[in-house]
Amino acid sequence: MTPSMTTSAPITPLKPTHQRVAQHLVDGLTTQDIATRTGLSPHTVRQYVRDIRVSVHCPPRCKPQVLVHFLLAAEQVAPPTTDRSAPELNAEQQLLLNAVAVHSTPRDIALAAKIAPADARSALDALLDETGAADVTQLIVLAHAWGLLGARASGTVESGAVQ
């Protein structure tokens, strides 16, 4: 499935080193964890993450789950397989899942999910419980593995970005 990007620029395929770092991001590792595991300096890992964001047209200040969504939607890394079966999400939960995949700030997530900002955290906690995900990055990875998240919608405004 080819994602519909917010820009017409083509996705730049990741170099092998960047692809390994991207896979670690999908696995839920922090930049410090990646540095420790790969022997790269934290500075180098941060630079690689910036390069990866540019390659997939992800906003510079996006949260990890948004970058992971961009990577998976652009098919730059493969979603892991899971033996967990996909949960039956209602329309509100699917809207929240989509919002978490493309927005970084709680306010933007709440607006996109059409819920009150004060209710966003409890709704997200309920979604994490429903899916069995440990955190929002794992939620996005599982959602891709289950086929619940496709490409980003064209024309989405990414939050947390300084364009």
Instruction: Enter the pTM of the model.
Output: 0.83
What pLDDT, on the 0 to 100 scale, is given for residue 5? 41
Q: What is the pLDDT of residues 102-121, one digit of tens each?
A: 999 999 999 999 999 999 99
Say what percent of the chain tops pLDDT 70.
Answer: 87
Say what percent of the chain tops pLDDT 90.
Answer: 74
The stretch 12-35 carries a mean pLDDT of 94
Closest CA to 155 of 124, 116, 117, 112: 112
What pLDDT, on the 0 to 100 scale, is given for residue 8? 58
State the architecture of 16-62 in CATH terms. Orthogonal Bundle (1.10)
The stretch 46-62 carries a mean pLDDT of 92
